[in-house]
Structure 1
Amino acid sequence: MRVDPREEAMMSVEAYILVQTEVGRAAEVARAICEVQGVTRAEDVTGPYDVIAHAEGPSVDELGTLVVSRIQKVPGITRTLTCPVVKL
């Protein structure tokens, strides 16, 4: 299926990134993640993950690059799990 270039320009890929941090660093990590371009929101939470972030990118590849090259490099992060949003 061919996508009209005008529609493609308006499309974006979204994902939630679940983040585990070093003990006591969730708030600091959430603030740092919020500063990453492409991240629309990051909140420190309770439960098995310490921070949940929402990010957007123009493609799955670029979103993956955002997570690996920018988010995972934030000091205090020990593990991430990326959950792409599907629109059913």
Structure 2
Amino acid sequence: MPEKKSIQDLHGADLTLWAARAQGIGDRKRIKLYASGPCLYRDTGPGGEPFPFRPDSHLGDTAVLIHEMAEVGILTLF
């Protein structure tokens, strides 16, 4: 079993995978996502294809997380 990590310890593709799971993207699209090296992939069975989800660089991919963090008081927007 892999060692559990805290969110603040995640970076790169692992953090992107966490954000995608937090938003329920895999469940909504009925796909399995995984992180490998610096990239996020969609499982296609015998391999994978890059999955274009970039909460670190595209506002559209991170807006849901920003909104939710502001709602619960984790993030304050001025």
TM surpasses 0.5: no
Normalising by structure 2, report the TM-score: 0.31
Q: Whose strand fraction is larger, Structure 1's or Structure 2's?
A: 1
- Greater helix percent: which structure? 2
Which structure has more relative contact order (CA 8 Å, sep 6+)? It is: 1
TM-score, reference length from structure 1? 0.28
